[in-house]
C-alpha cells in the first residue's frame, strides 16, 4: 500500500532576554546550579509573577515576521502537572488565547517553495533541569532554567516527509535568529523541536493516529528520528497492528524512538486562567513600532539578491542562510561593486571553508568585508589569478593585513601584460622547435608542455586565460 506521511512540529524557541519571563533573575547559560533561581522561580510562598516586556516584544516581532495575527488581548493559563523541576506544580503558559495566531513559514526544498501554516505561537516559561546521576539514588534539581521565556511555535500538520520537516525547522531557526529573538543554540537547548508524526493510506482524508517524538536537538537527529518513526508506524499497521497515541523519545545512540510515558499516566493538564496574571494587552501603536523596526526578512532579501544583483536563486539562498552571512555579503558588495557572483563565490567558498575549519561564526571572521573586498578588487582588475588570490587569502586569514601590501611583498602580481607574455612564449618556442613541430603536426597534448614551461618561466604569475590565448595563436603560426 502507498502511505502518506503527515508531520506537524512544535518548537520551543528560548527568547534571548537578559532576565526571566516573570522574575528579575538572569537567564545566562552555564551558571553555577541554582545561582540564577530566585524566590519567584523557586515558587516560594507569597511571590507573584511580573511579566517581562521584552519577552512580549519578541513574540510580537515573531508574529509580524511570520505574518500571523497579534492578539490585542491574550491571557495566561496554568498547565498543571507534577515534576520536581517544576516547583509551582504548574507551568505558566497560554492556552485559549495565544499572543500570535496563524502565520506561515515558507520552506524551500529542492527548488520548490512550500508554505507551512502556523497554528499559533504562545509565551510560556521553561522548567528547571533534573539530573539523575551520581546522587546516591536521588535526583538533583537545578532551577536556573526555570522561568526562562519560551515562545512555543506550533505548525499545522502540513509537512509530508522527514526532509520537509527538517527544511521547515531550518527555515524557522533562520527566522528566529534573523530577527534576533533567539540565539538558536541547539546544543544549549535554545531551539528544541517535538514532531507529531502519523501515516495514512494515500488518498485517505482522516489523519492516522499520531505519536509525538521528543528530544530532537539537532536537524540530523530530527530527520533520522522521523524516518525511523515512519518506518515503525507503517510496519506496525502492515503487520496488522495499531499505532497507539503516545509520546516517544528519540535515542540517537540506537537510532530508534521508544515509548516515554505509559498509558496509565495519560496527561490531563487541567488548564485554567492564571489568577496571578492579568490579561496581556498589546496596542496597535506598539505593534506598529515593532513592525517598523523589523529588519529585511530572509525571503525578501533572497528575492532582492536575485533581482538587484543578478544572482542565481541558489546563490541567493546560500547567502541568506543566516542574518550575519547576509550582512557580511552586503558589506562586501559595498567594497567590490558590480561583482556579486565573485563576492558570492568567495563568501560561500573560501570564507565559509576557513570559518568552518577554525570553528568560527562569520561575525568572528578573521577577515573583514573590507579586507576581503581589497582582495577581490585585485581579481576584478586582473592583478591576481584565482590561485594567487587564495594564497593571499590564506595570508590575510592567518596574519591579517591588506591584500595590496601582501601582493607587493610576495611579488604575486599577475602578469597580464600582453607583450611580456608574448616574449616569454616566443623564447619558449625558439628553445623547443621539436615540440612546436609536434604540435603543428596535430599532437595537441604538447600544449600542456608549453603552458607548464611558460608558467614556470614567470613564476606562476601569468594570467592563465591570456597565456592560453597567446600560446594558441603563436603555436598556430599566427
Partner 1 sequence: MALTETDLRRLARLARIRVEDAEVGTLVTQLSGILGLIDQLQAVDTHGIEPLSHALDLEQRLRPDEVTEVDRREQFQAVAPQVEAGLYLVPKVIE
Name the residues that contact partner 1, by CB under 8 A: 17-19, 23-26, 32-39, 42, 44, 50-56, 75, 80, 82-84, 96-97, 130-132, 135, 137-143, 268, 270, 273, 275, 277-281
- The answer to whether the CB of 55 falls within 8 A of the CB of 69 is no
Min dist CB 126 to partner 1, Å, is: 16
Closest CA to 78 of 89, 88, 92: 92
Smaller CB separation from partner 1, 24 or 349? 24
204: burial class by Cβ within 10 Å (0-12, 13-18, 19+)? exposed
Min dist CB 147 to partner 1, Å, is: 10
Q: Helix H segments across 336-402?
A: 340-346, 352-358, 369-380, 386-399
Q: Is residue 329 left, alpha or beta, with left meaning phi > 0 and alpha meaning psi from -120 to 50?
A: alpha
Smaller CB separation from partner 1, 96 or 238? 96
Min dist CB 368 to partner 1, Å, is: 31
Min dist CB 295 to partner 1, Å, is: 20
User: Is residue 461 helix, strand or coil?
Assistant: coil
Smaller CB separation from partner 1, 136 or 478? 136
Smaller CB separation from partner 1, 21 or 162? 21
C-alpha cell at 50: 511580573
Smaller CB separation from partner 1, 75 or 106? 75
d(CA 262, CA 276): 33
Min dist CB 281 to partner 1, Å, is: 4
Length reported for the chain: 478
Min dist CB 313 to partner 1, Å, is: 39
Min dist CB 51 to partner 1, Å, is: 5
- The answer to whether the CB of 259 falls within 8 A of the CB of 248 is yes
d(CA 103, CA 151): 14
- Helices 369-380 and 323-335: angle between axes, nearest 10 degrees: 50
Smaller CB separation from partner 1, 48 or 430? 48
Task: Give the number of other CB atoms < 10 A from CB of residue 51.
Answer: 15
Closest CA to 91 of 275, 271, 281: 271
Smaller CB separation from partner 1, 75 or 429? 75
Smaller CB separation from partner 1, 97 or 412? 97
Min dist CB 118 to partner 1, Å, is: 23
Instruction: List Cβ neighbours of 102 (8 Å cut-off, separation of 6 or more).
Output: 67, 68, 69, 117, 118, 119, 120
Amino acid at each position: 500500500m502507498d502511505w502518506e506521511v503527515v508531520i506537524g512540529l512544535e518548537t520551543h524557541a528560548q527568547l534571548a532576554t537578559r532576565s526571566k519571563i516573570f522574575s528579575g533573575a538572569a537567564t545566562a547559560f552555564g551558571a553555577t546550579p541554582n545561582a540564577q533561581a530566585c524566590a519567584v522561580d523557586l515558587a516560594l510562598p507569597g511571590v507573584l509573577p511580573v511579566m517581562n516586556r521584552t519577552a512580549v516584544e519578541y513574540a510580537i516581532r515573531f508574529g509580524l515576521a511570520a505574518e500571523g495575527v497579534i492578539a490585542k488581548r491574550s491571557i495566561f493559563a496554568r498547565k498543571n502537572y507534577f515534576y520536581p523541576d517544576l516547583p509551582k506544580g504548574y507551568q505558566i503558559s497560554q492556552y485559549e488565547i495565544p499572543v500570535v495566531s496563524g502565520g506561515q513559514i515558507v520552506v524551500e526544498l529542492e527548488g520548490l517553495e512550500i508554505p507551512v501554516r502556523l497554528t499559533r505561537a504562545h509565551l510560556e516559561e521553561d522548567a528547571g533541569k533534573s539530573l539523575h546521576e551520581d546522587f546516591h539514588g536521588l535526583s538533583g534539581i537545578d532551577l536556573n532554567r526555570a522561568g526562562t521565556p519560551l515562545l512555543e511555535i506550533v505548525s499545522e500538520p502540513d509537512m509530508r516527509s522527514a526532509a520537509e520537516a527538517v527544511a521547515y525547522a531550518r527555515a524557522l531557526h533562520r527566522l528566529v535568529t534573523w530577527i534576533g529573538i533567539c540565539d538558536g543554540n541547539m546544543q544549549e537547548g535554545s531551539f528544541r523541536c517535538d514532531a507529531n508524526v502519523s501515516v495514512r493510506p494515500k488518498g485517505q482524508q482522516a489523519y492516522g493516529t499520531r505519536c509525538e517524538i521528543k528530544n530532537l536537538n539537532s536537524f540530523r537527529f530530527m530527520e533520522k528520528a522521523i524516518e525511523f518513526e515512519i518506518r515503525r508506524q507503517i510496519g506496525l499497521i502492515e503487520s496488522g497492528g495499531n499505532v497507539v497515541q503516545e509520546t516517544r523519545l528519540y535515542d540517537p545512540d540506537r537510532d530508534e524512538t521508544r515509548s516515554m510515558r505509559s498509558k496509565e499516566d495519560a496527561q490531563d493538564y487541567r488548564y485554567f486562567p492564571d489568577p496571578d496574571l492579568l490579561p496581556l494587552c498589546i496596542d496597535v501603536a506598539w505593534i506598529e513600532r515593532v513592525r517598523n523596526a523589523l529588519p529585511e526578512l530572509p525571503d525578501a532579501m533572497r528575492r532582492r539578491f536575485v533581482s538587484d544583483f543578478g544572482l542565481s536563486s541558489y546563490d541567493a539562498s546560500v547567502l541568506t542562510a543566516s542574518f550575519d552571512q547576509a550582512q557580511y555579503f552586503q558589506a562586501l558588495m559595498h567594497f567590490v561593486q558590480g561583482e556579486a557572483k565573485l563576492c558570492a563565490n568567495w563568501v560561500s567558498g573560501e570564507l565559509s571553508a576557513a570559518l568552518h575549519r577554525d570553528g568560527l561564526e562569520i561575525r568572528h571572521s578573521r577577515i573583514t568585508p573590507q579586507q576581503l573586498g581589497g582582495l577581490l578588487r585585485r581579481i576584478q582588475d586582473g592583478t591576481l589569478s584565482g590561485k594567487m588570490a587564495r594564497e593571499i587569502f590564506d595570508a590575510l586569514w592567518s596574519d591579517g593585513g591588506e591584500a595590496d601590501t601582501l601582493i607587493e611583498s610576495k611579488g604575486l602580481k599577475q602578469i597580464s601584460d600582453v607583450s611580456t607574455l608574448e616574449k616569454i612564449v616566443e623564447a619558449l618556442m625558439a628553445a623547443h622547435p621539436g615540440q612546436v613541430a609536434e604540435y603543428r603536426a596535430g599532437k595537441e597534448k604538447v600544449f600542456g608542455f608549453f603552458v607548464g614551461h611558460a608558467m614556470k618561466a614567470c613564476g606562476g604569475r601569468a594570467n592563465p586565460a591570456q597565456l592560453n590565448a597567446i600560446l594558441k595563436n603563436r603555436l598556430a603560426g599566427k
